[in-house]
Amino acid sequence: MADNVSMLCDCRMAARCALILLGLIGSMPLSARAQVSSPGSSWSTSSQQSDPNGAVNPTRTSTTHTEVDGRVIEKTVIEARDMDGRYVPYSEIERQSVRVNDTTVRNIERSYGRTSDGQRTLTQETSEESRSFPDGSRKVIRTTSSLDGSGGVQVVQRAIIDSKQVSPGVRETNSTVFSADGSGGLAASVQIRERERQTDATTVEFTKSTSLSDGAGHWTLSEVREGTVRQQAGVGTTKEERVLRPNADGKLAIAERSVNKQAIPGPGQQSETTETYSTNVPGQAGDEGLRLVRRESTQQQTTTSGGRNTTRVVEQPNPGDPGAGLHVTQEAIDIVRTGANGVARQQSTILTTDANGQMNTVWIDMGSSNKPAAVKVDMAADKKKTK
């Protein structure tokens, strides 16, 4: 089922949003997603999304996942109500993963939409091959194709990701994105350089620089992210990150800073808080230095019966009164309860603040799942996967 926060978007656009995410180097590779389930597993989920205010057309989503002879097949279907009130297919995503051998995994993901007469049509295809080597290095080639103006399929993007252990405790990852150049070919458009260094048993330092091509063979450094991740036994994990971007003079300057803290307050409990500071403050000119512009807090409690209660709260400044500090702008409540035969029931509710400062429910997602890990969440692991 979709993450409760992401359900703020119209679920009818979920497939389109997924296509955009696939094009980002920072997103989790298809090969990583294919390893989530254990061999031979099979599960399904279904959910229905609705807007209590009636402003958004209700949708429902179903996913089936099977593994046969080393091949993983997963299909997600999103349906929306038509003019007659019937649910009809709106979009579909099909994923396949095959482990070729001990070192190679091949994946393919196809997204489909619907024409005006209801016919299913391919909108985008992403294929990926991931290879691991004995020295710990890894290479991923990811190719994205979309429909062209004549109804055919054309490659629009290719990403090549090389990761290797350059010395004990140090890993470097170099990524290059090739995009359509307008003449039927591909040209390098983005370069990303990442480096992680374990300085001691509890601390990892990281840097990530992104450069953009001007199309004439020149590269411009557009962003640098750097920081540390520290683990404290019995306390939790703290990640601090600085973001530097070119200022008005073209020199790198701090534009953003974030602090993420994860902790385990007690048995069955997890908490996470992320505070973001930025020079871009809503309602201000932008010359006040770094100011706190967002705080997201998550509290999770696992029940003795295996259920889970999760609450996420987002606080942001009011653009009309930026000096008043942060106030709650969004709250998401996710409740999962285990039932008979391993089936989990989930209800996700999203509330946002209106013009009068009152919290109102804007989205409800109710569903069920027999996925083995449906009620097992490791916030730290999820954060690593989406890094």
pLDDT in tens, 24-44: 333 445 544 444 344 458 999
In a domain, 12, yes or no: yes
pLDDT in tens, 72-101: 999 999 999 998 999 999 999 999 999 999
In a domain, 188, yes or no: no
CA 170 to CA 67: how far, in whole Å?
35
Q: Is residue 8's pLDDT more than 70?
A: no
pLDDT in tens, 239-274: 999 999 999 899 999 999 999 999 999 889 999 999
Q: How confident is the model at residue 287 (pLDDT cuts 50, 70, 90)?
A: low
Number of independent structural domains in the chain: 1
DSSP assignment letter at 209: E
Half-sphere exposure (CA, 13 Å, Cβ side) for 177?
A: 20
In a domain, 86, yes or no: yes
Sign of CA dihedral 280, 284, 288, 294: negative
pLDDT in tens, 173-201: 999 999 999 888 999 999 999 999 999 99
Residue 243: which residues within 8 A CB-CB, separation 6 or more?
A: 223, 224, 225, 254, 255, 256, 257, 258
pLDDT for 270 equals: 96
Sign of CA dihedral 208, 212, 213, 219: negative
pLDDT in tens, 347-360: 999 999 988 889 99
- Domain membership of residue 33 as a residue range: 1-103
pLDDT for 371 equals: 85
Q: Is residue 373's pLDDT more than 70?
A: no
In a domain, 242, yes or no: no
In a domain, 172, yes or no: no
